[in-house]
Structure 1
Amino acid sequence: MHAHVAEAIKRPDLISLQPGLACLRFETMKVYSALGAVRHLLETGAVERGDTLIDSSSGIYAQALALACHRYGLNCHIVGSTTVDRTLKVQLEILGVTLEQVRPSKNLRLDQELRVRRIAEILAENPSYHWMRQYHDGIHYLGYRDVAEEIAREVPGGPLALVGGVGSGASTGAIATYLREAGRDVSLVGVQPFGSVTFGSEHVSDPDMIIAGIGSAIAFGNVRHELYDRIHWVNFDCALSGAVRLLRDSGIFAGLSTGAAYLATHWERRGDDSRTHVFIAADTGHRYVESAYAEHARAQDFDALEPHDITSLDELRHPWSATSWPGLAASRAA
């Protein structure tokens, strides 16, 4: 029996779609990260029960941190993006979370900068608050050790390819790191939206981008670029096509980042079928119903989509580009 709902919903479902292909499906993935980080802070004495934890979020992490604080008797203060919808806002209110939302902005960089600026103001007024720094503090890697161990148990031995959104860097980076430390041969494939600075696509905008959670307009300290073997940049239309196809193929109803990951996985398997491919579904598709799934009729022919294979970031272009990251990174450093 679980001691708290956070412990119940954090565990993913590993779903076999066909031989050599599996989906690691979460209800909300960042609960692992938040629980692991908060537990570590309590164990090390960095915070005590009754203290207030604060961070910025576009939605998913807000719920995760709220549940972790509820689990361990801490207060929670979230500076949120305007993407925090009414369903989540009501949950946060009932859980006792203090939620502030920055002014609306169509510019992702401005939205993130406004949130960080507001956190600085709050910390100046409340120096006892603990800033979780989900984008920069390595403690957010800790919770994913359990995920790596579950993959190691459930996925047959042999080479593995892990595919998922890069985001803050803590999920795909941590899972791959722990699997590699255990001796597993892991190829890590990261998925990015256009317009993200994380892997250098900020010069290519995507006006329809609503998958900002897998990219960033500001540098994230938790992204360890050297961990990634391949990078795919996927635009909204391709991510939608992947999400719709995944639902039709498997019944899995997941977010747009999962659609992008499914598309990238489909392509990666063409080039290397010697590995078992596991792609991450970080959240469910419910918050994307109106903004994406309602447009399912515009989904493109999934099997006809192919990425532009690039050797320089100057070659990045819509709707989908991909590269071997170590090779491209080496050429940039030369």
Structure 2
Amino acid sequence: MIHSEPALDAATADLLPHVVRLGPNLWGASFKLMKMVPAHHIVDTALKTGEIGPDTVIVESTSGTYGLALAVKTALIGRRLVLVTDPAMDDRLCRRVADLGATVEMCRTPSALGEYQTVRLTRLAAVRERYPDSFWPRQYDNPLNPASYSIVADHLNRQLGRLDALIGPVGSGGSMCGTAAGLRRYSPGLRAVGVDTPGSVLFGQPDQVRELRGLGNSVLPGILDHTAFDEVHWCPAGNAYRHTRRLHRTSGLFHGPTSGAALAVARWWADRNPEARTLVMLPDQGDRYLDTVYDDSWLDAHPARRADGEPHQVTLPTGESSWTWMRWNRRRLTDVVDRPGPRP
């Protein structure tokens, strides 16, 4: 049974997702801009503590929607923002954050391993030297990131009541770890299923070039609590793209491939657990992907982008490019692999 939602103030209501039914036992939490949740909470807390003053420059490393969320927030509070990014932040998004007043520092050359995360962090350190009065929200390490999702968990509980499983993508770990912790106050038996992608170090795979962005990582965020997760899936791009388009055609929900990856796993999981009340996190909108995922000619240009298939179970992170999954059983990363990836 879906419960009625009490009235919320406008600022808070805009942070919360719409809850939509996607199947007999599957619901989706559809966000307009999920990263507004931590951006709003972290910046407001820093304003209250005095870490952000009248002349403070806010600086952050991001390649996606967290940068957009910070640009919106800093425009509203009248502060300068410098975003250190890489080519994954496409021209449309760069123009949008610039129109909101942000300065974009673009890192165009990857590291020797082909990734940008460490390159961006080096550039960010240089930017902070340039602006002594600066504030770094530290989305990967700030405990306020997962803590901010407490309001999301409360909202979802009011909407749906008891839940048996939460499924969602993992990038920094903030949304899944924070929402799972909040929901477990109401549903102690809740299972958390993390959705990663091949080539990401988050759950022990070797770092490789990844086509999917918005989930996965080349460094280990300090806020990622591996003991929150019961299962982990490594979903490849083809499955994510297929389910992104399927979601749009069947429900009208216009999301990006991060949401598609989560939905691929959620549909598979919900089908195999028909008695479980399952919720999937859908964090990103589809505007950035009109020329890629929503363009059939782009999909047809590379066979892997049309690939589909079922996952197969593994007992250790393998580094395979196909869809794999394993029972994580709320273990620490060091209990599963000997050599965790680098920290930011």
TM-score computed with the length of structure 2 as normaliser:
0.86
When structure 1 is superposed on structure 2, of 104-113 and 217-226 the one drifting more is 104-113
CA contact (8 A) 2:111 2:119 kept: no
**3-state SS of paired residue (2:204):** coil
CA contact (8 A) 2:238 2:307 kept: no
Correspondence for 2:283: 282
Q: Work out which of the residue numbers 301, 317, 320 in structure 1 matches 2:320.
A: 317
- Which structure features the higher share of helix residues? 1
Matched letter for residue 52 of structure 2: V
Q: Return the alpha-carbon distance in structure 1 between the equivalents of residues 185 and 51 of structure 2.
A: 27
**Structure 2 unaligned blocks of 5 or more:** 1-6, 339-344
The structural deviation recorded for 1:232 is 0.5
Q: Which residue of the partner structure matches residue 229 of structure 2?
A: 228
1:71 to 2:76 alignment? yes
Moved more, 286-295 or 173-182: 286-295
Query: 2:173 is matched with which residue: 149, 169, 181?
Result: 169
Which deviates more, 124-133 or 219-228? 124-133
Question: 1: distance between equivalents of 2:161 and 2:250?
Answer: 23
Residue type of the partner of 2:324? S
Return the letter of the residue paired with 2:119. L
The corresponding residue for 1:181 is: 185
| Conservation of the 8 A alpha-carbon contact between 1:82 and 1:104 | no
Identity %: 29
Give the match for residue 192 of structure 1.
196
Alpha-carbon distance in structure 1 between the residues aligned to 2:35 and 2:289:
18
Q: 1:229 to 1:155 in 2, by over 3 A?
A: same
Once the two structures are superposed, the pairs formed by residues 90-129 of structure 1 within 5 Å of their partners are 90-105=95-110, 110-129=115-134
The Cα of 1:326 is off from its aligned counterpart by 2.0
Task: Report SS of the residue matched to 2:184.
Answer: helix
Change (3 A) 1:90 1:3: farther
Question: How far is 1:331 from its partner?
Answer: 5.5
* 1:18 aligned to which of 12, 17, 23: 23
Pairing of 1:208-247 with structure 2 (within 5 A): 209-247=210-248
Q: Which amino acid aligns with 1:192?
A: D
Contact 2:92 2:288 in 1 (8 A): no
Distance 1:66 1:192 in 2: 26
Q: Which runs of 5+ in 1 are unaligned?
A: none
Which residue matches 1:149? 154
Aligned to 1:33: 38
- Decide whether the 8 Å contact of 2:226 with 2:330 is kept in 1: no
TM-aligned CA deviation for residue 137 of structure 1: 1.1
After superposition, what is the alpha-carbon deviation per residue over 1:188-242, rounded to whole angstroms, capped at 9, x for unaligned?
1111111111111226x4x6x4323211011211111110111000111111122
Match of 1:86 in 2: 91
Distance in 2 (alpha carbons) for counterparts of 1:181 and 1:156: 11
Amino acid aligned to 1:67: V
Counterpart residue identity of residue 161, structure 1: A
Structure 2 match to 1:263: 264
Letter in 1 for 2:151: D
Kept in 2, the 8 Å contact 1:237–1:319? The answer is no
> Structure 2 vs 1, CA of residues 3 and 163 (structure 1 numbering), >3 Å: closer, same or farther?
closer
CA change 1:139–1:183 in 2 (3 A) is same
CA 1:73–1:245 in structure 2 vs 1: closer, same or farther (change >3 Å)?
same
* In 1, Cα distance between equivalents of 2:164 and 2:86: 35
Aligned-residue RMSD, C-alpha: 2.5
SS at match of 2:22: strand
